[in-house]
C-alpha cells in the first residue's frame, strides 16, 4: 500500500459521510416542504439535532476523556444566554448578528469551561461529578438572578420575544460540522491523548502525556459544543427560561451519552435523536387521556435499556463511516526484525 | 557520562522504609537487573525514578540533569520509559492505538490540523502509523494491531507494554517483570527481544524480574535488593553464588538443599 | 445576636434532617460506590406514607413514622434487587443511570392521580406548634422533636455499626467485598441490609420534613436529596460521621445565607462551599486520600 | 479432602487457567509453586468461590463446590488467607479475629478459638485493641492467619504468607504453618519462596502460565533439576 492511500481512505469516509448527510438533508427537506412532516415534528427534529450537538460535547468530555461531568447543561445554558444577549441587544432578528451570536455562545461556554475546568478537573470520578453538578446549580442560580446584572436577561422569568432566526438548514449544517469536528478530533493524536487518560490516567501521565492539559482541552471543546447547541436553541424557540438548563437537563445529556455507549459517537448521535423523538412520540401515542403516564414510561424505558445493555446500545463501537480507517503498514518496507532464535 | 545516576536514595511511607540509601549508576547501553524477593522495594525504585512518588532524600540524575521533583510526563519526555508490574495498557484501545498514542508529545501537527485533517495531519499520521507497526513487528504483535488491548493474552500484553514504552523513543527503559505470566517459549523469545531492543534502539535497560532464567541470561550486571537496601551487586555468576542472596531470595533452605 | 442564635437553631433543624438522608447516601456509597440518586425519592415516599399514616389513616405519630420506615426499607431493598443488583459487575455509570431511572420512576409514579397526585399538599400537623424562649433564643417543639428523633437514630445507627455483627460485616464489605466473602459474609444480604437501613432513615427524615415544613409533593425529594448528598461528599463520602458533619455544615450555611444574604443565593453558596472544600480536600473533610497503587 | 479437576478460568477474554487438576489429602501440606503470573492465586480464588470456573469440577469433603458461593464454602470449613493479607485496617485486632469466626454463633466456641489464637500469636493479644492498620507487616500476616484459624477450618489456604517479611519472620511463619498442620489442619500453600515451602510441604505442584508443569513429593521436586533451573536460572535450553 502506497503512502497517501490511508489519506485517501479517510477522505473516502468523509465523502461517504457527507453523501449520507446530503441524502438525509434532501429527504428531510422534502418531508418538511411537502408538510408530510408537520411544523410540530419539524420543531422536534430541530430539537433532536440541537441535542445531538450538545451530547457530542459530553461524549468528548466523558465518553472519550473519562471526565465525569454532571453539569453539562450549565454550558448549554451559558451558550444560550450569551447568544440571546447578542441577539436581543444588537441582532433583533438580523441574520448577520445571528451568525455572530453562534460563535459568541460557543466561545463564552468555552471560556467559562476553561476557567472552571482548570481547578476542578483535578478531582476524580464521582468527586468531579458532584463538583460539576454543584457548578451547574450555581450557574442556574446565576440565571435566575441574571436580571440584577443585566435586566435584558430576565432573571427567573426568562427572556421572551427572541428572534426565531435559526431554521432547519442552519441547525442541520451545524450538526454536520459538529459531527465532522468531533470525529476528526477523536481520530487525531490529541484525541488519542484524551482516550489514554480515560483508560488509565496514571499510565498516560507516565507515558509522557500532560494529563491536566488534555483534560482541560477536552472539557473546553465539549463545553464549546454545548454552548453552540444552546446558541442554536435560543434562536429556534422563542422563549428562554432558566429551568431549561437545570441539572435535570444535565442528566438528559448524561443518559444519552451512556445509553448510546461510552466512547461511541455513532451511539451518541443515534441515541440523541431517538431519545428526543421517543419523548415526543410518547406524548403522541398516549394521547391526552394517558399523558400523565409519560414520565413513568420514560423512566421504565430508561431502566430497562440499561439493565439489558449495561454497556450502552453501541458499547464503544462505531458505525463504519464514523470509525477510523484501518491503518495498514506500507508493504515492501521491512521493519526491523527481532526474529528470535527459537 | 552515566545515563542514570542515583545517589543515596531513600523513601519512607509513613514510618516504613521502602527504600534506603540506594545507589545505582547505569552506563549507556547496559542491561542491568534489579532483583530481590517480593516486597523488597524494587518497584518503588522505579516509581521514584519516574516521579510517581516524591523522594524522601537523595538524588536522581538522568543524563546529567537533576530530575527530582519533575512531573512524570516531563521525565518521560526527557527519555525514560517504563512498563508496569500490573499491566497498565489503555485497555479499551486497540493495540495499534496504544502505541500511536505515545508519539503524542512529538507529534508534528497542531490542534487545527486535527480538526480539519489537513495534509500535514495525514502525512504525520502516516509516519506515526509506520513507526508503530515497526515497533509492533519488533515485539511480534503486528498481526494483532487491531485487537482491543484488554483481550490480549498476558504475554502479548507485556510485550505491548514494551512496544508502547519504545514509542516514546527513550534512552533508558525500565522493565517491571516483563516475563510474568509468559509461557517458557514466550520467555525465550523475550530474552532475545530485550537484547535486540538494546542493540537496535541503542538504549539502556534496567529490569526487575523474578524469573531467574531471564535475569541470568540477559543481564550484564545485577543489583539485589532486600528490605529496601542493596544486599549485593555484581556479575550474574557472582550473585548466583552469593550465599546472602540465595538465602534472602530463595529461602533459607536453599543452600542445604 | 439573638436573631443569629435563632438562625443557628433553624440551621441545626435543617442539618439534622439532611443528616438522616445523607447517612443513606454515604452508607450505600461506602458499600457499593454508587451515588444512589433514587434516595431522595425514597425520602419523598417516606414523607407521603407518614403523612397518610397520621393524617388519613389516623395513626399515632410514632406508629406513622415506623410504618413509613418499614415501607421504605422494603422499597429500598426492592429497588436494589431489581435495578442495581443485576448491574453489580457492570460499570458504575450504568448503575448510576439505573438509579436516575428509578428516581424518575418514583417521582412520576407518585405524581399519578391514583397514587399521590401531582399537587402540593399542606400537611396538618398532628399537634400544635409550641414556642419557647430560653435565654432570649426562640425554639419550638418541632425542633425539639427533630433533634430528639435524629439523635436517637444516630445513636442506634452508631451502635449497630460498631457493636453488632451485621455492623461489623458492613464495615468489612465497605473495605473489600472479596475479603468479606472469605470471612463467610454474604455480601448480597449485607448490601440489602444497608439499603433497608438507609431507606428507613430517609423515611424518618421525610416524615420529620413533612411536619417541620408542612408541605409535600412528589418532587420534594430532589433538592433535599441533592443537598444531603452534597453534605455526604462534603464530610467525606463513605464515612458515617462525615455525613453528619457535612449535613450540619450544610444546614448552617443554608439558613445563615438565607438570613443575611439574598435568599436566592442560598443554593449557590452551599455548592460554592462544596467546590472550595473539594479543591482543598479532594475527598471531603474527613475523607482519606488513598494514593493509587502503581 | 480437596479435589480440583481440570478447571478452566477466564478473566474476560483472557484464559488464566488452562485446565488445572490436583488434590489435597487430609493431614497434608500441599504447596503450589511457580513464578508471578503463573496462576497460583487464581487457582486459590477459584477454589474458595471468589471466581467461577468456566469448566471443571472442585470437590471439598466429597461435595461439589464448583458453583457454591464463597460465604457458604467458608462455612463448610475452608479458610482462605488471601494474598496481601487483606486484613481490615479500620477494625481492631479483636474485631478482625471475630470476623474470622463470622460463620460461628456459639459464643463459648468463639471465645475458645480466640484464646487459642492468642496462645499461638501472643503478639496479637498485646495489640488486641489496636486498629489492624497500625500493625507491622509480620503482625499483619499473623493476624491474617489467626483470623483464618478462628473458624476452625479443616482446610487452610495460605496465599504468599512470606511476602514482604524478613527472613527471620518468614522462618517463624513457616514454623507456625507446620505446627498448625501437626495439630490436624490440612494446609494448601501458595508460595513464591519455593524452597522454603518445599521444605515443610509433603507434596507440591509446579505451575506455569495456568498449567501444572510438574508434581510430586516435596523431596523429589526439591531435587528435580528442572525446578532448580526454573528458579535459579541455569541457561535456558
- Per residue in C244-276, pLDDT (tens digit) is 999 999 999 999 998 888 888 888 999 999 999
Q: What pLDDT, on the 0 to 100 scale, is given for residue D228?
A: 66
Nearest residue in chain D measured CA to CA from B42: D164
* Residue from B33, B149, B187, B213 to probe the interface with D (highest D Cβ count within 10 Å): B213
For chain C, which chains pass the contact test of at least 3 CB pairs under 8 Å? A, B, D
Q: Which of A137, A202, A299 sits opposite C105 (nearest CB)?
A: A299
* Residue from C182, C241, C242 to probe the interface with D (highest D Cβ count within 10 Å): C182
Q: What pLDDT, on the 0 to 100 scale, is given for residue B108?
A: 93
User: Do the Cβ atoms of C100 and A302 come within 8 Å?
Assistant: yes
pLDDT higher than threshold 90 for residue C63: yes
How far is the CA of C184 from the CAs of A88, D76, D91, in angstroms?
A: 67, 10, 17
If you count residue pairs, one on A and one on C, with CB atoms under 8 Å apart, how many are there?
122
Give residue B20's Cα distance to chain centre.
21
Q: How far apart are CA A43 and CA A54, in angstroms?
A: 17
User: Closest Cα of chain D to C246: distance in Å?
Assistant: 21
pLDDT average, residue stretch B221-250: 84
- Which helix (DSSP H) or strand (DSSP E) does residue A165 occupy? none
Interface contact D122, partner B, CB < 8 A: no
How far is the CA of C213 from the CAs of A245, C210, C220, in angstroms?
A: 27, 6, 11
Query: CB within 8 A of B115, min separation 6: which ones?
Result: A181, A184, A185, A188
User: For strand D2-11 and strand D55-60, is the pairing parallel, antiparallel, or unpaired?
Assistant: antiparallel
Mean of the per-residue pLDDT values of chain A? 89
**Percentage of residues of chain B with pLDDT beyond 90:** 72
pLDDT higher than threshold 90 for residue D226: no
With beta carbons under 8 A apart, name residues in chain A contacting C104.
Answer: 295, 298-299, 302
Task: Kindly report, residue by residue over B116-130, the tens digit of the pLDDT.
Answer: 999 999 999 999 999
Beta pairing partners, D29: D187
pLDDT average, residue stretch D15-31: 94
Interface contact B87, partner D, CB < 8 A: no
**SS3 assignment, position C135:** coil
User: Do the Cβ atoms of C267 and A137 come within 8 Å?
Assistant: yes
User: Closest Cα of chain D to C178: distance in Å?
Assistant: 7
Nearest residue in chain B measured CA to CA from C292: B52
Residue A284 or residue A204, greater confidence: A204
pLDDT higher than threshold 60 for residue B110: yes
Q: What pLDDT, on the 0 to 100 scale, is given for residue D237?
A: 31
Q: What is the DSSP-derived secondary structure letter of residue A155?
A: G
pLDDT higher than threshold 60 for residue A337: no
Q: Select from B133, B113, B116, B140 the least CA-distant residue to B124.
A: B113
Q: What pLDDT, on the 0 to 100 scale, is given for residue C1?
A: 62
Residue D151 CB burial class (10 angstroms; 0-12, 13-18, ≥19): buried
User: Do the Cβ atoms of A327 and B96 come within 8 Å?
Assistant: yes
Tell me the angle at which helices A95-120 and C266-280 cross, rounded to the nearest 10 degrees.
50
pLDDT average, residue stretch A154-166: 86
pLDDT interval class at A341 (50, 70, 90): very low
Q: How far apart are CA B140 and CA B149, in angstroms?
A: 14
Task: Kindly report, residue by residue over C199-249, the tens digit of the pLDDT.
Answer: 999 999 999 999 999 999 999 999 999 999 999 999 998 888 999 999 999
User: Closest Cα of chain A to B51: distance in Å?
Assistant: 8
User: Closest Cα of chain C to A158: distance in Å?
Assistant: 16
Phi, psi of B14 (to 5 degrees): 60, -125
Give residue A84's Cα distance to chain centre.
20
pLDDT higher than threshold 60 for residue D233: no
Give the residue ranges of DSSP H helices in chain C: 2-32, 39-51, 61-79, 92-111, 141-163, 165-175, 177-182, 187-212, 222-235, 240-260, 266-280
Query: CB within 8 A of C141, min separation 6: which ones?
Result: C127, C129, C130, C132
Q: Which of C179, C184, C186 sits opposite D82 (nearest CB)?
A: C179
If you count residue pairs, one on C and one on D, with CB atoms under 8 Å apart, how many are there?
59
Domain with D129 in it: 84-152
Tell me the angle at which helices C187-212 and C39-51 cross, rounded to the nearest 10 degrees.
50
pLDDT higher than threshold 90 for residue B131: yes
Which CATH topology does B28-186 take? Rossmann fold (3.40.50)
Domain spanning C2-117+136-280, CATH class: mainly alpha
User: Closest Cα of chain C to B87: distance in Å?
Assistant: 10
Q: How far apart are CA B144 and CA B149, in angstroms?
A: 9
- Which range (A90-99, A242-251, D84-93, D122-131) has the least confidence? A90-99
Task: Kindly report, residue by residue over A100-117, the tens digit of the pLDDT.
Answer: 999 999 999 999 999 999
Residue A38 CB burial class (10 angstroms; 0-12, 13-18, ≥19): exposed
For chain A, which chains pass the contact test of at least 3 CB pairs under 8 Å? B, C
Mean of the per-residue pLDDT values of chain B? 90
Q: What pLDDT, on the 0 to 100 scale, is given for residue A208?
A: 95
Q: What pLDDT, on the 0 to 100 scale, is given for residue B255?
A: 44
pLDDT average, residue stretch C19-27: 94
pLDDT interval class at A340 (50, 70, 90): very low
User: Do the Cβ atoms of A129 and C294 come within 8 Å?
Assistant: no
**Most confidently predicted of A196-210, B186-200, B215-229, D221-235:** A196-210
User: Closest Cα of chain B to A333: distance in Å?
Assistant: 9
With beta carbons under 8 A apart, name residues in chain C contacting D86.
Answer: 176, 178-179, 182
Q: Which of C183, C186, C187 sits opposite D99 (nearest CB)?
A: C183
Asked if C28 and C194 touch (Cβ cutoff 8 Å), the reply is: yes
Q: What is the ipTM of this complex?
A: 0.91
- Which range (B13-17, C141-145, C185-189, D8-12) has the least confidence? B13-17
pLDDT average, residue stretch C85-101: 94
Q: Which of A119, A138, A296 sits opposite C105 (nearest CB)?
A: A296
With beta carbons under 8 A apart, name residues in chain D contacting B153.
Answer: 14-15
Task: Kindly report, residue by residue over A245-290, the tens digit of the pLDDT.
Answer: 999 899 999 999 999 999 999 999 999 999 999 988 888 888 888 8
User: Closest Cα of chain A to C131: distance in Å?
Assistant: 34
In order, the DSSP letters of C144-169 are HHHHHHHHHHHHHHHHHHHHSHHHHH
Interface contact B17, partner D, CB < 8 A: no
What is the number of alpha carbons within 13 Å of residue B49 lying toward its C-beta? Answer: 33
Interface contact B120, partner D, CB < 8 A: no
Q: Which of C165, C176, C184 sits opposite D71 (nearest CB)?
A: C184
Q: How far apart are CA C247 and CA C19, in angstroms?
A: 5
Q: How far apart are CA B149 and CA A316, in angstroms?
A: 14
Mean of the per-residue pLDDT values of chain D? 90
Give residue C5's Cα distance to chain centre.
25
Interface contact B252, partner D, CB < 8 A: yes
User: Do the Cβ atoms of A210 and B73 come within 8 Å?
Assistant: yes
pLDDT higher than threshold 90 for residue A209: yes
Nearest residue in chain B measured CA to CA from D236: B213
Q: Which of D45, D82, D88 sits opposite C171 (nearest CB)?
A: D88
Residue A36 or residue D30, greater confidence: D30
With beta carbons under 8 A apart, name residues in chain A contacting C282.
Answer: 122-124, 127
Phi, psi of B58 (to 5 degrees): 110, -175
Q: Which of C168, C171, C184 sits opposite D103 (nearest CB)?
A: C184
Residue D174 CB burial class (10 angstroms; 0-12, 13-18, ≥19): buried
Q: What pLDDT, on the 0 to 100 scale, is given for residue D234?
A: 41
pLDDT interval class at A3 (50, 70, 90): very low
pLDDT higher than threshold 70 for residue C189: yes
User: Do the Cβ atoms of C178 and D86 come within 8 Å?
Assistant: yes
With beta carbons under 8 A apart, name residues in chain C contacting A202.
Answer: 292, 294
Q: Which of D86, D90, D102 sits opposite C171 (nearest CB)?
A: D90
What is the number of alpha carbons within 13 Å of residue C283 lying toward its C-beta? Answer: 11
Interface contact C93, partner B, CB < 8 A: no
User: Closest Cα of chain D to C186: distance in Å?
Assistant: 6
pLDDT higher than threshold 60 for residue A335: no
With beta carbons under 8 A apart, name residues in chain B contacting D234.
Answer: 213, 216
Tell me the angle at which helices C39-51 and C222-235 cross, rounded to the nearest 10 degrees.
130
How far is the CA of A108 from the CAs of A95, A165, C65, D75, in angstroms?
A: 20, 20, 50, 62
Q: How far apart are CA C101 and CA C116, in angstroms?
A: 19
Task: Kindly report, residue by residue over B13-39, the tens digit of the pLDDT.
Answer: 877 788 999 999 999 999 999 988 777
Q: What is the DSSP-derived secondary structure letter of residue D234?
A: P
Q: What pLDDT, on the 0 to 100 scale, is given for residue D231?
A: 57
pLDDT interval class at D236 (50, 70, 90): very low
Q: What pLDDT, on the 0 to 100 scale, is given for residue B96?
A: 96
Number of domains in chain D: 1
Residues of chain D that touch chain C, judged by Cβ-Cβ distance less than 8 Å: 45, 48-50, 69-71, 74-75, 79-80, 82, 86, 88-91, 95, 98-100, 102-103, 147, 151
pLDDT higher than threshold 60 for residue B109: yes
Choose which CATH entry (1.20.120, 3.30.160, 1.10.287, 1.10.3470) describes domain A5-308: 1.10.3470
User: Do the Cβ atoms of B104 and A190 come within 8 Å?
Assistant: yes
User: Do the Cβ atoms of D231 and B191 come within 8 Å?
Assistant: no
Nearest residue in chain B measured CA to CA from C293: B86
Strand order in the sheet with B16-26: B16-26, B4-13, B57-62, B65-66
Query: CB within 8 A of C164, min separation 6: which ones?
Result: none
User: Do the Cβ atoms of D196 and B253 come within 8 Å?
Assistant: yes
User: Do the Cβ atoms of A306 and C272 come within 8 Å?
Assistant: no
User: Do the Cβ atoms of D49 and C172 come within 8 Å?
Assistant: no
With beta carbons under 8 A apart, name residues in chain B contacting A342.
Answer: 185, 188-189
Amino acid at each position: 500500500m502506497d503512502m497517501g492511500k490511508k489519506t485517501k481512505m479517510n477522505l473516502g469516509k468523509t465523502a461517504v459521510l457527507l453523501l449520507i448527510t446530503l441524502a438525509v438533508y434532501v429527504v428531510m427537506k422534502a418531508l418538511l416542504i411537502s408538510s408530510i412532516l408537520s411544523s410540530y415534528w419539524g420543531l422536534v427534529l430541530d430539537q433532536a439535532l440541537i441535542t445531538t450537538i450538545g451530547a457530542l460535547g459530553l461524549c468528548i468530555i466523558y465518553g472519550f476523556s473519562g471526565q465525569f461531568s454532571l453539569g453539562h447543561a450549565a454550558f448549554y445554558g451559558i451558550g444560550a444566554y450569551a447568544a440571546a444577549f447578542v441577539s436581543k441587544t444588537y441582532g433583533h432578528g438580523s441574520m448577520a448578528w445571528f451568525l455572530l451570536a453562534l460563535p459568541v455562545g460557543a466561545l463564552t461556554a468555552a471560556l467559562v469551561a476553561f476557567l472552571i475546568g482548570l481547578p476542578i478537573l483535578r478531582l476524580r470520578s464521582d468527586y468531579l461529578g458532584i463538583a460539576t453538578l454543584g457548578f451547574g446549580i450555581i450557574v442556574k442560580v446565576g440565571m435566575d438572578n441574571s436580571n440584577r446584572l443585566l435586566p435584558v436577561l430576565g432573571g427567573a422569568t426568562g427572556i421572551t420575544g427572541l428572534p426565531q432566526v435559526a431554521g432547519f438548514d442552519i441547525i442541520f449544517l451545524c450538526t454536520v460540522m459538529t459531527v465532522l469536528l468531533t470525529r476528526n478530533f477523536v481520530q487525531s493524536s490529541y484525541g488519542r491523548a484524551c482516550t489514554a487518560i480515560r483508560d488509565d490516567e496514571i499510565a498516560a501521565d507516565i507515558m509522557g502525556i500532560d494529563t491536566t492539559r488534555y483534560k482541560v482541552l477536552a472539557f473546553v471543546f465539549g463545553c464549546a459544543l454545548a454552548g453552540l447547541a444552546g446558541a442554536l436553541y435560543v434562536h429556534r424557540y422563542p422563549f428562554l427560561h432558566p429551568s431549561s438548563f437545570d441539572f435535570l437537563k444535565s442528566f438528559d445529556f448524561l443518559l444519552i451519552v451512556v445509553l448510546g455507549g461510552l466512547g461511541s459517537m455513532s451511539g451518541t448521535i443515534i441515541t440523541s435523536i431517538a431519545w428526543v423523538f421517543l419523548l415526543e412520540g410518547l406524548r403522541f401515542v398516549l394521547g391526552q387521556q394517558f399523558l400523565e403516564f409519560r414520565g413513568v414510561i420514560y423512566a421504565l424505558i430508561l431502566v430497562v435499556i440499561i439493565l439489558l445493555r449495561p454497556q450502552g446500545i453501541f458499547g464503544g463501537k462505531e458505525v463504519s463511516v464514523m470509525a477510523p480507517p484501518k491503518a495498514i503498514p506500507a508493504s515492501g518496507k521491512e521493519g526491523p526484525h527481532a526474529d528470535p532464535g527459537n | 557520562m552515566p545515563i542514570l545516576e542515583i545517589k543515596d536514595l531513600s523513601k519512607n511511607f509513613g514510618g516504613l522504609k521502602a527504600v534506603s540509601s540506594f545507589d545505582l549508576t547505569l552506563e549507556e547501553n547496559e542491561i542491568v537487573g534489579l532483583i530481590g524477593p517480593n516486597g523488597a522495594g524494587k518497584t518503588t525504585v522505579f516509581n521514584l525514578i519516574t516521579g510517581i512518588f516524591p523522594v524522601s532524600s537523595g538524588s536522581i540524575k538522568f543524563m546529567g540533569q537533576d530530575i527530582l521533583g519533575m512531573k512524570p510526563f516531563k521525565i518521560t519526555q526527557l527519555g525514560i520509559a517504563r512498563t508496569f508490574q500490573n499491566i497498565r495498557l489503555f485497555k479499551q484501545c486497540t493495540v495499534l492505538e496504544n502505541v500511536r498514542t505515545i508519539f503524542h508529545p512529538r507529534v508534528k501537527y497542531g490542534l487545527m490540523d486535527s480538526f480539519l485533517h489537513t495534509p500535514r495531519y495525514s502525512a504525520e499520521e502516516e509516519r506515526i502509523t509506520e513507526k508503530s507497526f515497526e515497533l509492533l513487528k519488533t515485539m511480534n504483535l503486528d498481526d494483532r494491531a487491531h485487537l482491543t488491548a484488554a483481550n490480549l493474552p498476558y504475554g502479548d500484553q507485556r510485550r505491548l507494554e514494551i512496544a508502547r514504552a519504545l514509542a516514546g523513543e527513550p534512552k533508558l527503559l525500565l522493565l517491571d517483570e516483563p516475563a510474568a505470566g509468559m509461557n517458557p517459549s514466550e520467555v525465550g523469545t523475550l530474552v532475545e527481544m530485550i537484547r535486540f531492543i538494546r542493540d537496535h534502539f541503542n538504549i539502556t535497560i534496567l529490569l526487575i524480574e523474578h524469573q531467574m532464567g531471564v535475569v541470568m541470561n540477559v543481564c550484564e550486571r545485577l543489583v539485589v535488593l532486600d528490605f529496601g537496601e542493596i544486599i549485593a551487586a555484581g556479575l550474574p555468576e557472582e550473585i548466583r553464588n552469593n550465599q546472602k542472596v540465595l538465602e534472602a531470595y530463595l529461602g533459607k533452605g536453599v543452600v542445604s538443599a | 445576636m439573638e436573631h443569629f442564635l435563632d438562625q443557628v437553631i433553624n440551621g441545626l433543624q435543617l442539618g439534622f434532617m439532611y443528616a438522616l438522608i445523607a447517612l443513606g447516601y454515604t452508607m450505600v456509597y461506602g458499600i457499593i460506590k454508587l451515588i444512589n440518586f433514587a434516595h431522595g425519592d425514597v425520602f419523598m415516599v417516606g414523607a407521603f406514607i407518614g403523612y397518610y399514616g397520621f393524617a388519613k389513616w389516623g395513626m399515632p405519630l410514632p406508629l406513622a413514622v415506623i410504618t413509613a420506615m418499614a415501607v421504605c426499607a422494603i422499597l429500598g431493598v426492592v429497588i436494589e434487587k431489581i435495578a442495581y443488583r443485576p448491574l453489580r459487575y457492570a460499570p458504575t455509570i450504568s448503575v448510576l443511570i439505573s438509579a436516575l431511572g428509578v428516581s424518575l420512576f418514583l417521582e412520576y409514579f407518585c405524581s399519578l392521580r391514583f397514587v399521590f397526585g401531582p399537587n402540593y399538599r399542606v400537611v396538618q400537623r398532628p399537634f400544635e406548634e409550641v414556642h419557647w424562649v430560653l435565654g432570649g433564643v426562640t425554639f419550638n417543639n418541632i425542633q425539639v422533636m427533630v433533634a430528639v428523633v435524629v439523635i436517637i437514630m444516630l445513636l442506634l445507627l452508631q451502635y449497630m455499626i460498631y457493636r453488632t455483627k451485621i455492623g461489623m460485616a458492613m464495615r468489612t464489605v465497605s473495605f473489600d467485598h472479596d475479603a468479606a466473602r472469605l470471612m463467610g459474609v454474604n455480601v448480597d444480604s449485607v448490601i440489602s441490609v444497608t439499603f433497608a437501613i438507609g431507606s428507613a432513615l430517609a423515611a424518618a427524615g421525610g416524615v420529620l420534613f413533612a411536619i417541620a415544613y408542612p408541605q409535600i409533593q412528589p418532587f420534594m425529594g430532589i433538592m433535599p436529596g441533592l443537598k444531603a448528598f452534597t453534605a455526604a461528599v462534603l464530610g467525606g463520602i463513605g464515612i458515617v460521621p462525615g455525613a453528619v458533619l457535612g449535613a450540619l455544615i450544610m444546614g448552617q450555611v443554608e439558613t445563615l445565607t438565607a438570613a443575611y444574604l439574598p435568599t436566592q443565593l442560598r443554593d449557590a453558596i452551599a455548592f460554592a462551599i462544596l467546590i472550595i472544600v473539594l479543591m482543598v480536600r479532594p475527598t471531603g473533610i474527613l475523607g482519606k486520600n488513598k494514593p493509587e497503587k502503581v | 479432602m480437596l479435589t480440583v479437576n481440570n478447571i478452566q478460568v477466564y478473566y474476560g477474554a483472557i484464559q488464566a487457567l488452562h485446565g488445572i487438576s490436583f488434590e489435597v489429602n487430609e493431614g497434608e501440606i500441599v504447596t503450589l509453586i511457580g513464578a508471578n503470573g503463573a496462576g497460583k492465586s487464581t487457582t486459590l480464588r477459584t477454589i474458595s468461590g471468589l471466581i467461577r470456573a468456566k469448566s471443571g469440577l472442585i470437590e471439598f469433603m466429597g461435595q461439589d463446590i464448583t458453583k457454591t458461593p464463597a460465604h457458604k464454602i467458608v462455612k463448610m470449613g475452608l479458610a482462605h488467607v488471601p494474598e496481601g493479607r487483606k486484613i481490615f485496617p479500620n477494625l481492631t485486632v479483636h474485631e478482625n479475629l471475630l470476623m474470622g469466626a463470622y460463620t460461628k454463633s456459639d459464643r463459648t466456641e468463639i471465645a475458645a478459638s480466640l484464646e487459642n489464637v492468642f496462645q499461638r500469636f501472643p503478639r496479637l493479644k498485646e495489640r488486641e485493641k489496636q486498629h489492624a492498620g497500625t500493625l507491622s507487616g509480620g503482625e499483619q500476616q499473623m493476624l491474617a492467619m489467626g483470623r483464618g484459624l478462628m473458624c476452625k477450618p479443616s482446610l487452610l489456604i495460605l496465599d504468599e504468607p512470606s511476602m514482604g517479611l524478613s527472613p527471620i519472620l518468614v522462618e517463624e511463619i513457616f514454623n507456625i504453618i507446620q505446627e498448625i498442620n501437626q495439630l490436624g489442619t490440612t494446609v494448601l500453600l501458595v508460595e513464591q519462596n519455593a524452597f522454603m515451602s518445599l521444605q515443610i510441604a509433603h507434596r507440591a505442584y509446579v505451575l506455569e502460565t495456568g498449567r501444572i508443569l510438574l508434581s510430586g513429593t516435596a523431596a523429589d521436586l526439591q531435587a528435580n533439576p528442572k525446578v532448580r533451573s526454573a528458579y535459579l536460572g541455569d541457561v535456558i535450553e
